[in-house]
Chain A
């Protein structure tokens, strides 16, 4: 089956720093979503981005479907950005999400 790998696995930042999270997938996909799982376990939708670039405030994402990767950019990080970031993809001929390995982000004041 499709493999979804995220890097880095762990990231420690000071408040105000910028970061880039990467998601690589091993086969073509229909859809791609980025989530933030907060310390209480809730999965929060960040982007629905099968291709192209989107921005929402301090966050932006780019998916290059032909090269099988997506990037999530976090600018001017805040302590509330802490948590685990997941990308998840929908392979062709199915509608289930396959989640990546996650990036655990800790932002310190």
Chain B
């Protein structure tokens, strides 16, 4: 089937605005992960879900960041009061379950002006 998909592919917003980034995992994958990649660096973990619940949100940088996965499939990463330092590529990954191989989507490039 299809791989992990993310929308939008690019998002430009102004400082202080609210944004939502969407991730559609591979069909049947129960685990879903969000990472953030800044220019010239490797991806850094933000949060992961097993089913509908957040199993580990220790990578979220502050309380402006929040993620949901209400039906155990699609997930939305929400960023409030965006700051210029939030500019990065946000990557989503999914796996068949915990401790399985993770597969990544193409990412959403967020630019905060």
Mark A residues whose CB is within 8 Å of B: 30-31, 33, 35, 40-43, 45, 48, 86, 88, 90, 94-102
Contacts and interface: CB of A to CB of B under 8 A. Distances in A.
Contact of A45 (B33, B55, B91, B101): B101
Interface in B24-44: 31, 33, 35, 42-44
Contacts of A98: 45
Contacts of B43: 43, 86, 88, 97, 99
14 contacts: A30-B99, A31-B101, A41-B109, A90-B99, A95-B31, A95-B33, A95-B48, A95-B56, A96-B56, A97-B33, A97-B45, A99-B43, A100-B42, A102-B42
Contacts of B102: 33, 97
B45 A48 contact: no
A43 B50 CA distance: 22
The contact size tier of chain B is: 20 to 34
A41 B107 contact: yes
A48 B48 contact: no
Given A86-B42, A101-B42, A102-B42, A95 B103 contact: no
Interface of B: 31, 33, 35, 42-45, 48, 50, 55-56, 59, 89, 91, 93, 98-99, 101-104, 106-107, 109
Nearest to B97: A95
B1 to A, nearest CB: 16
Q: Give the residue among B31, B42, B59, B93 with the most A Cβ atoms within 10 A.
A: B42
Contact of B89 (A33, A35, A41): A41
Nearest to B50: A95
A20 B31 CA distance: 32
Contacts of B33: 95-97
B103 A45 contact: yes
